[in-house]
Amino acid sequence: MHLRAMGIAATDVLSAMERVPREIFVPAQMQDQAYEDIALPIGRGQTISQPFVVAAMTQALEIGDRDKVLEIGTGSGYQTCVLAHLCRRVYSIERHKPLLLQAEKMFHRLKLHNITAIAGDGMKGWPDQAPFDRIICTACAQGEPPPPLLDQLKTGGILVIPVATGGHQVLRRYKKEGDDTFAVKDLMPVRFVPLLPHLATASENENDDYAMPA
């Protein structure tokens, strides 16, 4: 009801979010906040986005049940699972291997078999599986989306990504109209962790103060 009141009208998106238990993706010491409309830390400097942002990004993608979706930033796997209820297949890339392993446990626990996830550099996309009908990025690009993501989008496809411009972040939607032609729309101000290249280093993965539920 909260999401409806906030302007999320797509019934398939609302249904998908109802089917994914957010509490299993939230650190054990924050279980009481699992359904508050706030972002929460999940370790390694990463967060699980607030429910409204997950819903808004998903709605903006306009996913069809035959679509092939690329997700940049698996994180906790919560957004991935929401996508999996809406499309044919999700391909997800995460630069933090420990987060990826935890997310894969969640996919198995929820019996979602249409997700393929790897540890890698999301800024390069997934050339071997391109092109994609939809691409979603859950980290903020500087100025413009990485060119490989735009290149790996089908004509008619949609990319939803936070972009930093002039010291502010805005959620932006790109619809590919031709090889190098995009209809671009700013959706709303957001705050995301930065989109970074390469796999995370061992030192980036060392400090993790958040115990995930079993």
Active site residues per annotation: 49
Q: Is 36 left (phi over 0), alpha (psi -120 to 50) or beta?
A: beta
Are 194 and 118 spatial neighbours (Cβ–Cβ below 8 Å)? no
- Angle between the N-to-C axes of helices 11-19 and 51-61, in degrees from 0 to 180, rounded to the nearest 10: 130
| Among the listed residues 88, 92, 109, 117, the one whose alpha carbon sits nearest the alpha carbon of residue 20 | 109
Burial letters 111-126, b for 16+ CB under 10 A, else e: ebeebebebbebbbbb
Q: Is there a cis peptide before residue 131, judged by omega within 30 degrees of 0?
A: yes
**Distance, CA of 191 to CA of 66 (rounded, Å):** 31
CB 51 within 8 A of CB 22: yes
